[in-house]
Amino acid sequence: MTSSQISLGFAGIGLMGLPMCRRLLAAGYPLTVWNRNAAKCGPLQAEGATVAETPAALAQSSDVLILCLADTTAVQEVAAGLLPALGNGQIIIDCSSIEPEATRKLAARAAKQGAHWLDVPVSGGVTGAENGSLTLMAGGDAGALAQVEPVLMQLGQRLTHMGPSGSGQATKVCNQMLVACNAMVIAEVVALAQQSGVDAGKLAAALTGGFADSKPLQILAPQMASRTFEPVKWHVRTLLKDLDMAVRLSQDQGSATPMSGLAAQLMRTHAAAGNAGRDPATLIELYGKE
């Protein structure tokens, strides 16, 4: 089946959703979009997308539906309108980062409609969404995943089936633990380097290729060193949400996550100071001004 023969629906036109939709349009997929704030659909409508008035209308017009929403509550609210409108054989791809247990319940409800719910959260940020270089970690039916792999590979460079429903979300929790804790340590490192007389603007380049290197280091260290916080590429509130989810999951599984728990407390302190909607590069402000 060619791209022009598969009708796609997309709910959630935010920092990630907008560039993801643009890639799907560029690949030739007929695309219908929906967003709680309909005005955000305007740019995509100008580029050839159709705008649905409700999640139910989105479901009725699409073979494959992709969700990219803020949190578990947002996905559940959209699913309440979307699921009753599903028909046999439709596939929902949830690229949001939500609770694994909530995912399993949504997948069970979709199955009653004859549909498949795949949890396929992504990593790579806005730049990865723009470049089609996201990393995708999937949970759910392997056969359904194989059907939509051509769609997903327009968005990412790597797609891995991690196991049954909820496995993709659990993997994303692990991913975000690494990202968020890394971001917190990078803020400490940049602050310490500057207070020690080091040109922290050179840190990322100096450490490239060593054991300390990482994508967060390459992105965040220069921003933190120069106090460059705009444009916002991701949000403090997103990392905090994911750290909280990690702590809850660890409690459910009887596993210990003390470093992620501490990172969550520090992140919450920063968010509560009016920084929830700012870029995580602002974490450097926890350690004083330059």
Question: What is the rounded distance in angstroms from the CA atom of residue 49 to the CA atom of residue 39?
Answer: 13
User: Are the C-beta atoms of residues 33 and 51 closer than 8 Å to each other?
Assistant: yes
Crossing angle for the helix pair 258-270 and 167-195, to the nearest 10 degrees: 70
Bridge partner list, 93: 66, 118
Question: What is the rounded distance in angstroms from the CA atom of residue 82 to the CA atom of residue 85?
Answer: 6
Residue 126 class from Cβ within 10 Å (0-12 exposed, 13-18 middle, 19+ buried)? middle
| 208-217: Cβ within 8 A, 24+ apart | 214/182, 216/179, 216/182, 216/183, 216/186, 217/182, 217/186
170 Cβ contact list (under 8 Å, min separation 6) = 100, 139, 162, 249
Question: What is the rounded distance in angstroms from the CA atom of residue 75 to the CA atom of residue 125?
Answer: 19
Bridge partner list, 119: 94, 139
Asked about 112 being catalytic, the answer comes back as no
Q: How far is Cα of residue 222 from the mean position of the Cα atoms in its chain?
A: 23
User: Are the C-beta atoms of residues 204 and 222 closer than 8 Å to each other?
Assistant: yes
Q: Which of 172, 202, 241, 289 is catalytic?
A: 172
Question: What is the rounded distance in angstroms from the CA atom of residue 277 to the CA atom of residue 75?
Answer: 20
Active-site residues, by number, are 172
